[in-house]
Amino acid sequence: MNRAPELARLVRFYENIERASVRAQLTQIYAPDAQFKDPFNEVCGIEPIIGIFVHMFAQVEQPRFVVTSTVLQGDEAFLTWEFLFRMKRFSKAPQCIRGATRIRFDAGGAVVIHRDYWDAAEELYEKLPLIGSVMRWLKRAANN
C-alpha cells in the first residue's frame, strides 16, 4: 500500500506543530498503542506520547521542525530533520538539533512506531552552561 499521503500528513504536522492542536492532531496521526522512543523517552500509548509533546512546549519556546528529507518504503519511512527552538532557561539564543526518525505505519495508515535518533551530547548537552563545558572537555579528551 502507498503510504505517501500518510507520510505527507506527518511531515505537515511536524512542520506546523502548535500547542493548541497537538493533542487533536496526534490522536489522528498516531495509533492508540503507538510506541515512541527518543534519547530521553520510551513510551507506549497515545497519552504518554501526547505528554512528551506537552512537556516540549513547557520547556522550549518557538519549537519548529524542518523536515529535510524523507524516504518511504512500504509501511516504513525515514525522515531527517532540524528541530529549531529557544530554551526557556539557560540561553535564549536560537538552538538547532539535527536528527532522524524511523516511522512504521500500521495497516490503517497510523504511526505505530516512532523512533528518533539524535546525539543528545552534541546537539543539546554541549550547548548548556556548566555541563556543556564538561561535555566539550570529555569530547576533546576522547579524541586525543
Grid coordinates given for 126: 554541549
pLDDT value, residue 124: 57
Q: Which of 83-94 are b and which e, b meaning 16 or more Cβ less than 10 Å from the residue's Cβ?
A: bebebeeeeeee
Return the DSSP state at 25.
H
Sheet holding 111-117, edge to edge: 42-44, 30-37, 111-117, 94-105, 76-87, 60-73
Please give the distance of CA 137 from its chain centroid, rounded to a whole number: 27
pLDDT value, residue 123: 53
pTM, 2 dp: 0.83
Return the DSSP state at 110.
-
- Cβ neighbours of residue 6 under 8 Å, at least 6 residues apart? 105, 109, 110, 111
Q: Give pLDDT < 70 ranges for the chain.
A: 90, 120-142
